[in-house]
Amino acid sequence: MDDSTLRGKARVALRNEQLPPRDPDSTTGGPGCGKTCVVCGETVGRTQMELEAEFREDGELHKYHLHPKCFMAWEFERSKDDASGPERLELA
């Protein structure tokens, strides 16, 4: 998939709360474990690279498996939303 398609899928995942809009508590990388990528919906094969984003919420650990390009699309969309938020101050 091209970058614009992946960014669109990342926007949908954020909008539908399938992925948190904040930085992960930890991120690890390694060979895929055969889980479904939360952005593109395709399997992260065992011969592919995977990034696993972990979030701790309400005493629970939530793990999200992503292809590196899907992770970057999610990061891009998150940062874009952060930049337009009301708490962001512009420097003169």
Give the pLDDT score at 87. 42
Please give the average per-residue pLDDT across 21-30, as a whole number.
96
Q: Give 44's DSSP letter.
A: -
What domains lie within the chain, and their CATH numbers?
Answer: 3-80 (3.30.1740)
Residue pair 1/8 in contact (Cβ under 8 Å)? The answer is: no
Give the pLDDT score at 85. 45
Give the pLDDT score at 81. 60
Structure pTM? Answer: 0.83
% of the chain at pLDDT higher than 90: 83
Place of tokens 């954020």: 14
Give the pLDDT score at 82. 59
Q: State pLDDT tens for residues 39-59.
A: 999 999 999 999 999 999 999
